[in-house]
Amino acid sequence: MKTILFILLSIAVINSAQAQIDSYQITNSDTIELADLSFKRAVALHFDEATILLDHDLFMKHLTSERKGLKKQIKSLERMIKRGTDNPGVTSSQLKSYQRQFAPVDSVFAIVKQSRLDTFHVDYRIFIRTDLPFGDFLPSTIESKQCMILDLSNHKQNLVIKINGTKQTGQMTAVGSSFYFIQGSAKYFLSKMDRVN
């Protein structure tokens, strides 16, 4: 009975998800059963449709890496401009873009590092607004069951539905993406691009 109910719920989510990802041809769907975890300290990443709770140290590892990478790009471009070995139109716009992306990463880094809270809350839109690809590690974190997912009412969700699809982008090109849904939600909370052909 539990299996039948689960299958019916999965079909309902896939059908409602289909409307949202209509331009994609669904190639596969999978259900990820998350375990109950406890973290000494956690970071809660708030998305429009869900919250991802993950280990503080894992989050800081990825945030530190992103911060170092952006800092390196900024310094490299500043050196090019200082030496005069740049294409002014391109380099200065790239520099502004990296500086715009660095600001929220650096702010979150400083605040989280100083915080002594057991759970630190971050609105993920702070990264989206600057077109920062921070969060590429989240799909693998979900798939390896190293996090917990909460719905908008802060109820733990044990199941995440992953839907894979492809979309034609040109005569000879296509893109493949994965979409992550919580049970009963018609809108995905996370997506990732898998491949481009």
pLDDT of 20: 55
Average of pLDDT values for 167-179?
87
21-51 pLDDT tens trace: 777 888 888 999 999 999 999 999 999 999 9
What is the model's pTM? 0.81
How distant, in Å, are the alpha carbons of 34, 51, 52, 53, 157 from that of 38? 12, 15, 13, 10, 15
Could you give the percent of the chain with pLDDT greater than 90?
A: 56
- Sorting pLDDT into bands at 50, 70 and 90, what band is 9? very low
Give dist(CA 184, CA 10) in Å, integer: 9
Residue 20: how many CA atoms within 13 Å on its side-chain side?
A: 17
pLDDT of 7: 44
Residue 127: how many CA atoms within 13 Å on its side-chain side?
A: 18
Would strands 190-196 and 174-182 be described as parallel, antiparallel, or unpaired?
antiparallel
- Sorting pLDDT into bands at 50, 70 and 90, what band is 16? very low
Give dist(CA 38, CA 83) in Å, integer: 51
pLDDT of 121: 96
Give dist(CA 54, CA 62) in Å, integer: 12
